[in-house]
A = this chain, B = another copy of it.
Amino acid sequence: MKGTLDLGRVSGIKVQIHWTFIFLIAWVVFLEVSRGSDMPTVMLSIVFVLVIFGCVVLHELGHALTAKRFGISTRKITLLPIGGVASLERMPEKPKQELLVAVAGPVVNIVIAILLYMVFPIHRFLNLEPEALQESLSAITPQNFVFYLFAANVMLVVFNAIPAFPMDGGRILRAILSMTIDRVQATRIAAALGQLMAVVFFFFGLFYNPLLILIGIFVYFGAQGENVMVQHLALLRGHKVNEAMMTNITVLHPDQSIREVVNIVLSGTEIHFVVSEDQEVLGVLYQSDFIDAMKGKNTDAPVKNFMTTDFEKVGLNEDLADFYRKVRANRKNFFPVLENNHLMGAIDFNNINEYMLIRSSLDY
């Protein structure tokens, strides 16, 4: 994601903060100032938000480190104004593992809440009469800071328990459902419930808290995206790259000029090319490569000067589902297909989509 600030690494996982986070801080400052808080209170509120997001990082690390135990690595943890996102390489498909990974996040907040309760005199607040409690919590102070933190962690647990896939509660639901029914069907149900909850969030957001509007939008499209992915992986599983790959492709010679490539591009539907000489694949000329060449006025230069040589290859018999995951995570989504170093064809994202569209129409 663009516009992020790296905070460092924990167990090899990059922790990033998204630039829009500044809006959250600005919002908090504005709310405090508009209710007439003094400078120390404003500062305390900012510190509070930062500490809460510290807890969110720990929550996400709960997911990530549990996933690691099942051999699944996490690329990064990103903090957005509406919460954290751990980018796991993939979700475990065994229901029990997925359940553990999903539960591990909220468990971290439960542990934090219990620790705070044991170390600090939080029971004093909980023993107060409702009115006295409300009174003593009307503004954040150094005295009630820890209680606020305790309450926020409890809220994080409660909020994440809502079964709005792809939020934790929704993942837990999907995992539990997949113990008795097909995972694809379980995902469909969890995603539908998630989208329904998203509409509820959106609507509540209009009345109570605008951040809920954003969370609603996030959950709605998140549920849709993950549902589509699971349906797709189910369609592709057991099929091989050679069933979907393109064989009718233009293979470039390294000495062909960029101008010739542009003519090929305009005259047809291909945009990425394999570059090969004497049966050997030397590189890939991505669309971005020839566009770069043209920006540098190198229209007459040979293809070999601009091709990408550290491209990824795919094997003829690689599983399409595994390959689909790889493609989704890769910006350059065009791959030569090789067998014993011989070029057999190429495969790209559109190609797989086409294959899925055709396959799903047959199951109709």
A residues with a Cβ closer than 8 A to B are 23, 26-27, 30-31, 34, 203, 205-207, 210-211, 213-214, 244, 246-249, 262, 264-271, 287, 291, 294-295, 350-351, 354-355, 357-358, 361-362, 364
24 contacting pairs across A/B (C-beta < 8 A): A23-B203, A23-B206, A26-B203, A27-B206, A31-B207, A34-B207, A205-B210, A213-B214, A247-B267, A248-B267, A265-B354, A266-B354, A266-B355, A266-B358, A268-B269, A269-B269, A269-B270, A269-B351, A291-B358, A291-B361, A294-B361, A294-B362, A295-B361, A295-B364
CA of A248 to CA of B269, assembled, Å: 8
* Cβ contact within 8 Å between B244 and A268: no
CA of A264 to CA of B26, assembled, Å: 55
CB distance from A263 to the nearest CB of B (A): 10
* Best-buried of A27, A30, A268, A271 by chain B (most CB within 10 Å): A268
CA of A262 to CA of B213, assembled, Å: 43
* Cβ contact within 8 Å between A358 and B246: no
CA of A197 to CA of B276, assembled, Å: 51
* Best-buried of A269, A270, A295 by chain B (most CB within 10 Å): A269
CB distance from A279 to the nearest CB of B (A): 20
* Cβ contact within 8 Å between B266 and A246: yes
CA of A206 to CA of B28, assembled, Å: 11
Q: How many copies does the complex hold?
A: 2
Partner of A210, one of B213, B262, B267, B362: B213
Q: Top 10 nearest A-B pairs by Cβ distance?
A: A248-B268, A269-B269, A295-B364, A294-B361, A248-B267, A206-B210, A295-B361, A247-B267, A291-B361, A210-B210
Cβ contacts under 8 Å, A271 to chain B: 269, 354
Residue of B nearest to A354 (CB): B265
Cβ contacts under 8 Å, A244 to chain B: 266
* Cβ contact within 8 Å between A269 and B210: no
CB distance from A317 to the nearest CB of B (A): 17
* Cβ contact within 8 Å between B294 and A268: no
Cβ contacts under 8 Å, A30 to chain B: 207
Residue of B nearest to A24 (CB): B206
CB distance from A102 to the nearest CB of B (A): 30
CA of A27 to CA of B207, assembled, Å: 8
Identify 18 new A-B residue pairs, CB closer than 8 A, beyond the known A27-B207, A213-B213: A27-B203, A34-B207, A205-B210, A206-B211, A244-B266, A246-B267, A247-B267, A247-B268, A249-B269, A266-B358, A269-B269, A269-B271, A269-B351, A291-B357, A291-B358, A291-B361, A294-B358, A295-B364
CA of A248 to CA of B263, assembled, Å: 10
CA of A244 to CA of B206, assembled, Å: 47
* Best-buried of A203, A211, A354, A364 by chain B (most CB within 10 Å): A354
Cβ contacts under 8 Å, A249 to chain B: 268-269
CB distance from A295 to the nearest CB of B (A): 4
Cβ contacts under 8 Å, A364 to chain B: 294-295
* Cβ contact within 8 Å between B269 and A350: yes
